[in-house]
Amino acid sequence: MGRLNWPIALAAGAAMLTSSLTGSAQAADSTDPIKFVLNDWTGELLSSRIMGEALKRQGYKIDYVQADAMAEFQGLETGDLDVVMEVWATTQKQVFDNALKTGSVENLGETGMKAREEWWFPEYMKEKCPGLPDWKALKQPDCVKAFSTPDTAPKGRYLGGPVTWGGFDDERVQALGLDFEVVHAGTDAALFAELESAYKRKAPILLWIYAPHWAPSVYKGEWVEFPPYTPECYAEKKYDCGKPHGPIWKAAWSGVKTKWPKAHDAIQKFSITTDEMNALIYKVDRDKQSVEDVTTKWLDENEARWKAWFQ
Amino acid sequence: MTRDRTSFSFEQRFGISAAIVVALACVSWSLPIAAKYPLSWKWPLDQLLTMWLKFLVAQISFITRGIAHILQMPLDFAIGLLAKGFEIPLGSETVTIPPLSWAGVCATFVWIGYRVGGTRLALLQAACSAYIVLFWQWHAAMLTLASVLVCVPVAVACGLLIGVFAYSRPKLNQWVLTPGLDIMQTVPAFAYLIPTLLLFGFGPVAAMIATVIFATPPMARVTTLALNQTPMEIRELGKMVGCTERQTIWRILLPSSLPSLLVGLNQTVMMTLNMVIVASMIGAGGLGFDVLRALRQLDIDRGFESGVAIVLLAVMLDRQGVALANAAKPGAASSKTLAAMFGVPLAFLIVATLLGTQFDWLREFPKALRLSTGATLNDAVSWININYFDAIEAFRIFVLTHFMTPIKVALTSAPWLFVSGVVTVFAYFVGGARMAFLSAFVFAFCLVTGLWDKAMITIYLCLSATVISVVIGIPIAVLAARFDPLYRATTVAIEVLQTLPSFVYLIPVVMLFRVGDFAALLAIVAFAITPIIKFTMTALRTVPADLVEAGKSMGCSGAQMDFFIRFPVALPSILLGINQALLFALAMVVITALVGTRDLGQEVYIALTAANPGRGLVAGLCLALLGILIDRLFQAGVARLQHRKSSQSFVHGELAAA
């Protein structure tokens, strides 16, 4: 082989490169990637992906960043993170309110989903602890025994969510004088894997269930009725009450409004119903489809809906 | 001044200790304050630390943000080059430059493997690359590799600087640097993720900096060690040719200890890969995040596939590094071989990437050819779960009720004064006043920061796990030391257990045994058993040949040989292995927080998820202090044992001579 002719080789290379151009029309917004937060429960992953992928189809660049439900506000305040698609009134309200007070975080309105989180038991447990769903039943020694397991004996066992979700369950147990030990599930999946296993065998279980989620409709059971939540109960750090109910909000770093005004507008319009979300989570958790596939399918099927967010 | 402990006879010391223990017991069970430390006496060190840190962050964040910004650039470049490509806006259009083609990168690995390690290494590199490509781990592996490529030079540079500094200022080294490095290595990485988050923001750069903190100490230690070990003549040579001290270090000593430094480099790469999963919790992507996601979804197959990819990436870099270190020994490579070593792969990369713009299969490996374990492992575990549920449950309950719960109840309900008093007396017994002081300090720290209960649960988990590891590990080691095929199999198994990220085997453990102490115990045992087997096996196999011969000539049977000859000789190494196991268990405690334990590890994890730096650091320090105490106590105990034995044998020898 003779000597390579470098100028020609380079020119050929450059030509091949330019032929692979993927020129995309730029939106009027900044071309920097928008950083979406991914938390550790399936619903949030879906909400984030749906909004993020919709924006991508409109020519935006999106980065997905892993952050925890409590720590994420730190990132939102400094602009390290841009958008959080689910902020639950049930557990995150306090931190969210504090973040809003700094002025660096903006509430982008409700997602359309209503949140409920509380201690939950399957229906068959009512036979073993007849006083339920009233929380006072949990004070009866018989009930404590019914919910007790070798790990926690002589105390009852309550399976809480991953510690990342907060929720003040340790404080609640202490404030209400319940003889229960809070075991944290570590992960979302472990929580429901245990419920499934226990439910099949009618084994005793008392655990943290949240909605929107498929579990309350697939399994028969009820939420424990604690003394109703009041803002003072949490503000004064008493925690002798149940968890608050309320909407799920969207939140953003306050700079999003000026940096990506159109995207900001679209995220504000994002809306999805609780039932819809339940079905999507079911597809991921039970039918073992990937979050990405479920998102793509939803976007393909609901094109008119998400395109309307950009009007 | 403390009285010299040898001035008491053994009986006297024993008597005094027993008296103190009885007195402590009386006080502890009669005074409520001595039993349970009042909550109101808690010293809010965590809140103070958080306040100071927040203040500090506000003052210096512009500097740290600047550093983050600077580090972001090489990281973006590496990620662009290996994984994501570049988008360069040109006027109204965007030019997309694709990332390096997988074929080119693989070819590069194989080529360099061939040049430095021959056909064997080339084949190894090819096999590992093939796994990563075929199992569709390429993109994630390149994200991980990109962060390794940026972290390692930074960590090596920091390590070199600290190491040289420690070498030239021995006093400072002894009092500040060595303890500093000790703490960097014993405080769980989770604890300093939080201050890192606050200072450097969310995302890959913060994760990278946490990784650098974790990976720097070994490099610093190796540097100091290598400098101290350079032959006197070389140092003299520096003086003779009139070098300044700085010139001697940088121009003569460091180049002459290149092989040791390359070992340090290798260590740094390994530590970096160890950190990938923890780093993914604060925003690093790549293989680590895939394993974390698999754990969250309890998807064994995906976790296993990504976990194996991490192991293979580590193997590829490790073997390549070792071969490079060996190749560096005989003298500098000529420019011609250098050109061949790097010129050829460069050509591969450019050609494959350019062709990739035309042929899709070169840009991205065709999805149709993807291999996967599908849901095989998940199905296998569910099958076990369905068919053997009762047996598994019975086993779990048996261990819990007869072994774990009694230890837990004893430790958590015992009065703090009694527990700390007894351990401190014991510490005085084996290590004198200094050890007693250390013990008292550690317990006082746990107590006043309000972490007593969690510290006790931590000790209970570590202790139970170590006992089980000893019970299972030592018989395995004894058998493996005797039979060669078993020895080889065990060695491989241990290496896999140590490099496979622990998160991967948390998944099946949780599926079979549900969250709670028992699952945590199994995960800790899987990790802590490795040093016990390794140390015991090696010690038994390296018993001096003349002793073994002597035993044989006296007609000992196989079991007698083990019990009367090999075991006593190997005992100090075995004890060291147990010591290591305890430390490994403490390190693993933080990770088991993800399967629902209630120990110090969980405290650190809660702090991480709530971005509360003070709480995490205090709990992390508590863990580190417990680790240091266990380590020192154990070593002092072993030293005493050896001392007693040698003095005993001395006495016997004298008697025999007489």
Buried b (16+ CB within 10 A) or exposed e, B410-419: ebeebbbbbb
Straight-line distance from the first to the last Cα atom of chain A, in angstroms, rounded to the nearest whole number: 60
Could you tell me which residues are beta bridge partners of residue B644?
A: none
Residue B541's pLDDT is 84
pLDDT for res B2: 44
Inspect the interface and report whether the beta carbons of A21 and B95 lie closer than 8 Å: yes
3-state secondary structure of B374: coil
Token readout for A263 is 């995207």
- pLDDT the model gives residue B331: 53
The yes-or-no verdict on residue B137 having pLDDT over 70 is yes
Q: Does domain B42-87+143-312 have CATH number 1.10.3720.10?
A: yes
CA distances from B190 to A209, B206, B211, B615, B629 (A): 28, 12, 11, 11, 21
> Residue ranges per domain, chain B?
42-87+143-312, 98-134+332-370, 380-413+449-657
Return d(Cα B218, Cα B272) in angstroms, integer: 11
Let me know: does B197 contact B281? Beta carbons within 8 Å.
no
Taking the CA of residue A225 and the nearest CA in chain B, the distance in Å comes to 25
Cβ contact, residue pair B514, A80, below 8 Å: no
Inspect the interface and report whether the beta carbons of B405 and A153 lie closer than 8 Å. yes
Query: Which residues of chain A have a CB within 8 Å of the CB of B606?
Result: 163
Instruction: Report residue B648's pLDDT band, with 50, 70 and 90 as the boundaries.
Output: low
Chain B interface includes A287 (CB < 8 A): no
Q: Is B198 on the interface with A (CB under 8 A)?
A: yes
For residues B529-543, average pLDDT:
87
pLDDT tens, position by position, B493-526: 887 777 777 778 788 888 888 888 888 899 899 8
Q: What's the token pair of residue A127?
A: 């036979």
Q: In whole angstroms, how far apart are CA A67 and each of B45, B208, B604?
A: 26, 15, 16
Instruction: Reduce the DSSP state of residue A248 to 3 states and report it.
Output: strand
On chain A, the residues whose CB falls within 8 A of the CB of B401 are 150, 153
Mean pLDDT for B56-60 is 85
Closest Cα of chain A to B263: distance in Å? 34
Give contacts of A33 with chain B, Cβ < 8 Å. none
- Would you call B92 and A194 a contact, using CB atoms and an 8 Å cutoff? no
In DSSP notation, B26-66 reads HHHHH-HHHHS--GGG---HHHHHHHHHHHHHHHHHHHHHH
Q: Is A174 on the interface with B (CB under 8 A)?
A: no
User: Is B380-413+449-657 assigned to CATH 3.40.50.720?
Assistant: no
Distance between CA B266 and CA B234 in Å, rounded?
25
Q: Judge whether B603 and B619 are in contact, CB under 8 Å.
A: yes
pLDDT band (50, 70, 90) for residue A5: low
Residue B297 has pLDDT above 60, yes or no: yes
Q: Which has the minimum average pLDDT: B218-232, B471-485, B548-562?
A: B548-562
Cα separation of A150 and B514, whole Å?
Answer: 13
ipTM above 0.85, yes or no: no
pLDDT of res. B646 = 66
> pTM for this one?
0.81
CA B492 to chain centre: 18
Evaluate whether B181 touches B217 at the Cβ level (below 8 Å): yes
DSSP class of residue B8 equals S
Q: Which amino acid is at B349?
A: L
Chain A residues whose CB is inside 8 A of the B285 CB are 66
Domain spanning A28-114+246-309, CATH architecture: 3-Layer(aba) Sandwich (3.40)
Those of residues 80-99 in A touching chain B at CB distance below 8 A are 80-81
CB nearest to A163's CB, from B295, B396, B602: B602
Rounded to the nearest integer, the mean pLDDT of chain A is 85
A30 near B CB under 8 A: no
Q: Give residues with Cβ within 8 angstroms of A30, minimum separation 6.
A: A259, A260
User: In the numeric block, which tokens belong to residue B433?
Assistant: 């006043």
**Residue contact A66–B396, C-beta within 8 A:** no
Contact A22 B203 (CB under 8 A): no
Would you say how long chain A is, in residues? Answer: 311
Q: Do A17 and B357 touch (CB under 8 A)?
A: yes
CB spacing of B203 vs A80 below 8 angstroms: yes
Report which of A247, A248, A246, A250 is spatially closest to residue A108, judged by C-alpha positions: A250
CA B357 to chain centre: 42
Per-residue model confidence (pLDDT) at position A12: 53
**Residue B370: pLDDT over 50:** yes
Chain B contact for A27 (CB, 8 A cutoff): no
Q: Taking the mean position of all CA atoms in its chain, how far away is CA B116?
A: 29
List residues bridging with B89 in a β-sheet.
Answer: B94
**Most confident residue range from B158-162, B256-260, B575-579:** B158-162
Interchain pair B608, A166: CB under 8 A: no
Determine the pLDDT at residue B336: 59
Q: Tell me the per-residue pLDDT of B300-350, one tens digit each, with 9 for 90 and over.
A: 888 889 999 998 998 888 888 878 777 765 555 555 566 667 777 788 788
Nearest-CA residue of chain B relative to A200? Answer: B386
Q: Using CA atoms, how far apart are residues B264 and B575, in angstroms rounded to an integer? A: 27
The percent of chain A in helix, strand and coil, each rounded to the nearest 5, is 45, 20, 35
Beta carbons of A66 and B281 less than 8 Å apart: yes
Mean pLDDT is highest, among A12-16, A261-265, B25-29, B37-41, for A261-265
Measured between alpha carbons, how far is residue A65 from residues A32, B131, B282, B379 in Å?
A: 15, 27, 8, 31
**Ranges of each domain in chain A:** 28-114+246-309, 116-235
Portion 146-165 of A in contact with B at CB < 8 A: 150-151, 153, 159, 163-164
CA-wise closest residue to B61 among A84, A102, A79, A82: A79
Cis omega (within 30 of 0) for bond into B38: no
**Lowest-pLDDT range of A29-43, A216-230, B125-139, B555-569:** B555-569
The C-alpha angle with vertex A168 and arms to A167 and A169, in degrees rounded to 5, equals 95
Nearest CB neighbour to A24, from listed B94, B285, B611 = B94
Residues of A in contact with B90 (CB under 8 A): none
| Candidate from A130-134, A161-165, B88-92, B133-137 with smallest mean pLDDT | B88-92
Helices (H), B232-357: 232-240, 245-247, 254-256, 258-274, 276-280, 287-297, 300-328, 335-356
Per CB-CB distance under 8 Å, the chain B contacts of A201 are 389
Which residue in chain B has the smallest CA separation from A28? Answer: B92
CA B216 to chain centre: 13
**pLDDT interval class at A263 (50, 70, 90):** very high
| Res B631 pLDDT > 80 | yes
A58, A83 Cβ separation under 8 angstroms: no
Taking CB atoms and an 8 Å limit, are A184 and B515 in contact across chains? yes
Paired with B110 in beta bridges are none
- For residue B377, pLDDT over 90 is answered with no
A81 to chain B: closest CA residue: B202
CA angle B113, B115, B117 (to 5 degrees): 55
pLDDT band, residue B652 (cuts 50/70/90): low
CB–CB of A67 and B282 under 8 A? yes
Q: Do domains B42-87+143-312 and B380-413+449-657 have the same CATH topology?
A: yes
Q: Do the beta carbons of residue A217 and residue A278 sit within 8 Å?
A: yes
- Encoded amino acid at B528, one letter: A
CA closest to A189 among chain B residues = B297
Q: What is the H or E stretch that residue B521 is in?
A: helix B517-541
- Please report how the helices B204-229 and B178-186 are oriented relative to each other, as an axis angle in degrees rounded to 10: 140
Pairwise CA distance, residues A122 & A106, whole Å: 39
Q: Which of residues 402-431 of B touch A (CB under 8 A)?
A: 405
Question: Could you tell me if A75 lies within 8 Å of chain B, comparing CB atoms?
Answer: yes
Q: Quick check: helix, strand or coil at residue B270?
A: helix
Q: Which of residues 86-145 of B touch A (CB under 8 A)?
A: 89, 92-98
pLDDT of res. B570: 84
Q: Nearest chain A residue to B62 by CA: give it.
A: A78
Facing A184 at nearest CB: one of B295, B400, B596: B596
Q: Does B595 touch chain A (CB under 8 A)?
A: yes
pLDDT tens-digit readout, B466-498: 999 999 999 999 899 888 899 999 988 887 777
Contacts of B611 in chain A (CB under 8 A): 68, 70-71, 73-74
State the sign of the Cα–Cα–Cα–Cα dihedral A93, A94, A99, A103.
positive
Is the peptide bond between B406 and the residue preceding it cis, with omega within 30 degrees of 0? no
Determine the pLDDT at residue A19.
43
**Chain A closest CA to B569's CA: distance in Å?**
40
Hey, is the C-beta of B646 within 8 angstroms of any chain A C-beta?
no
Residue A21 has pLDDT above 50, yes or no: no
Q: What is d(CA B73, CA B75) in angstroms, rounded to the nearest whole number?
A: 5
Specify the higher pLDDT residue, B625 or B548. B625
Q: Which residues of A touch B596 (CB under 8 A)?
A: 159, 183-186, 190
Q: Do A23 and B595 touch (CB under 8 A)?
A: no
Least confident window among B78-82, B247-251, B360-364, B644-648: B644-648
Same fold, A28-114+246-309 and A116-235: yes
Return residues 206-245 of B near A (CB < 8 Å). Answer: none
Cβ neighbours around A43 below 10 Å, total: 29
Residue with tokens 């024993």: B14
Which chain B residues are closer than 8 Å to A164 by Cβ?
609
A 10 A CB-CB count for B257 gives 20
* Neighboring chain A residues of B593 at a CB cutoff of 8 Å: 163, 186
Are B400 and A66 in contact (CB < 8 Å)?
no
Average pLDDT, chain B: 83
Q: Which residue has the higher pLDDT, A17 or A223?
A: A223
Q: Is A18 on the interface with B (CB under 8 A)?
A: yes
Compute the average pLDDT of residues A18-35: 61
Q: How confident is the model at residue A249 (pLDDT cuts 50, 70, 90)?
A: very high
User: How confident is the model at residue A270, as a pLDDT?
Assistant: 93
For residue B201, which residues of chain A lie inside 8 Å, CB to CB?
75, 78, 80
- For B401, which of A40, A150, A188 is closest by C-beta distance? A150
d(CA B309, CA B305): 6
Vertex B530: Cα angle to B525 and B531 (nearest 5): 115
* Tokens read off for A30: 């900044």
Check CB contact under 8 Å for A78 and B201.
Answer: yes
Higher pLDDT, B115 or A309: A309
| Residue A32 phi, psi dihedral angles, 5° rounding | -65, 150
Best-predicted range by mean pLDDT among A27-41, A268-282, B384-398?
A: A268-282
Angle at B126 between CA B123 and CA B132, to 5 degrees: 145
**pLDDT-wise least confident of A148-157, B432-441, B445-454:** A148-157
Closest residue on chain B to A63 (Cα): B203
Distances (CA, A) of A111 to A108, A210, A217, A307, B375: 9, 16, 21, 16, 34
Q: How far is CA B125 from CA A32, B138, B312, B318, in A?
A: 37, 14, 9, 11
What is the percent of chain B with per-residue pLDDT over 90, rounded to a whole number? Answer: 14
Q: Which fold has domain A116-235?
A: D-Maltodextrin-Binding Protein; domain 2 (3.40.190)
Token duo for residue B160: 């070199």
- Reported as a single tens digit per residue, the pLDDT across A107-159 is 999 998 988 889 999 999 999 998 888 999 999 999 999 999 887 878 899 99
Helix axes B138-168, B300-328, angle to 10 degrees: 50
The answer to whether A183 contacts B92, with C-beta atoms less than 8 Å apart, is no
Q: Is the pLDDT of residue A18 over 80?
A: no
